[in-house]
Amino acid sequence: MTDSLVQPADWLLEVNNLSCGYGDGSVVRNVNFALSHGDIGCLLGPSGCGKSTILRALAGFLPINTGEICLQSSSISLPGRTLAPEKRRIGMVFQDYALFPHLTIAENVGFGLRREDREAKHQKVTELLKVVHLQDLADNYPHELSGGQQQRVALARALAPEPTLILLDEPFSNLDADLRRRLSLDVREILKTLGISAILVTHDQQEAFAMCDQVAVLKDGGIQQWDVPYNLYHEPANRFVAGFVGQGGFVPGKALGPDTIESELGVIRGNRAYPWQPGTLVDVLIRPDDIVYDASSELKPKVVEKTFAGTSTLYRFRCSEDTEFEALFRSHLDFHLGEHVPVRVEADHLIAFERT
Ligand X SMILES: Nc1ncnc2c1ncn2[C@@H]1O[C@H](COP(=O)(O)OP(=O)(O)OP(=O)(O)O)[C@@H](O)[C@H]1O
Q: Are 216 and 42 a contacting pair, CB within 8 Å?
A: yes
Contacting ligand X (CB under 6 A), which of 47, 193, 277, 311? 47
Q: Are 283 and 355 a contacting pair, CB within 8 Å?
A: yes
CA-nearest of 351, 73, 37 to 194 is: 37
Question: What residues from 193 to 222 belong to the interface with ligand X (CB under 6 A)?
Answer: 203
Only segment of 50-58, 82-90, 151-159, 266-274 that touches ligand X (CB under 6 A): 50-58
The reply to whether 157 sits near ligand X by the rule CB under 6 A is no
The reply to whether 27 sits near ligand X by the rule CB under 6 A is yes
Q: Are 200 and 208 a contacting pair, CB within 8 Å?
A: yes
The reply to whether 65 sits near ligand X by the rule CB under 6 A is no
The reply to whether 51 sits near ligand X by the rule CB under 6 A is yes
Looking at the Cβ atoms of 147 and 222, the one nearer to ligand X is 222
Only segment of 12-20, 49-57, 248-256, 280-288 that touches ligand X (CB under 6 A): 49-57
The reply to whether 100 sits near ligand X by the rule CB under 6 A is no
Count the site residues for ligand X by CB under 6 A.
11
Q: Are 62 and 53 a contacting pair, CB within 8 Å?
A: yes
CA-nearest of 307, 350, 299 to 323 is: 299
List, as one string, the DSSP characters of 164-212. SEEEEESTTTTS-HHHHHHHHHHHHHHHHHHT-EEEEEES-HHHHHHH-
Looking at the Cβ atoms of 28 and 99, the one nearer to ligand X is 28
Cβ-based neighbours of 269, under 8 Å, separated by 6 or more: 259, 260, 261, 350
CA-nearest of 334, 331, 337, 352 to 305 is: 337
Looking at the Cβ atoms of 48 and 257, the one nearer to ligand X is 48
d(CA 294, CA 296): 5
- For the CB of residue 66, give the shortest distance to ligand X in the complex, in Å: 17
Looking at the Cβ atoms of 49 and 343, the one nearer to ligand X is 49
- For the CB of residue 133, give the shortest distance to ligand X in the complex, in Å: 29
The reply to whether 24 sits near ligand X by the rule CB under 6 A is no
- For the CB of residue 60, give the shortest distance to ligand X in the complex, in Å: 16
Secondary structure of residue 73 in the 3-state scheme: coil
Only segment of 45-53, 96-104, 119-127, 144-152 that touches ligand X (CB under 6 A): 45-53
Looking at the Cβ atoms of 152 and 203, the one nearer to ligand X is 203
Contacting ligand X (CB under 6 A), which of 41, 50, 163, 236? 50
The reply to whether 224 sits near ligand X by the rule CB under 6 A is no
Contacting ligand X (CB under 6 A), which of 49, 125, 200, 223? 49
- For the CB of residue 89, give the shortest distance to ligand X in the complex, in Å: 23
The reply to whether 171 sits near ligand X by the rule CB under 6 A is no
The reply to whether 29 sits near ligand X by the rule CB under 6 A is no
Q: Are 185 and 158 a contacting pair, CB within 8 Å?
A: no
Question: What residues from 233 to 292 belong to the interface with ligand X (CB under 6 A)?
Answer: none
The reply to whether 152 sits near ligand X by the rule CB under 6 A is no
List, as one string, the DSSP characters of 156-169. HHHHTT--SEEEEE
d(CA 342, CA 348): 20
d(CA 274, CA 271): 10
- Give the residues lining the site for ligand X (CB under 6 A): 22, 27, 45, 47-53, 203
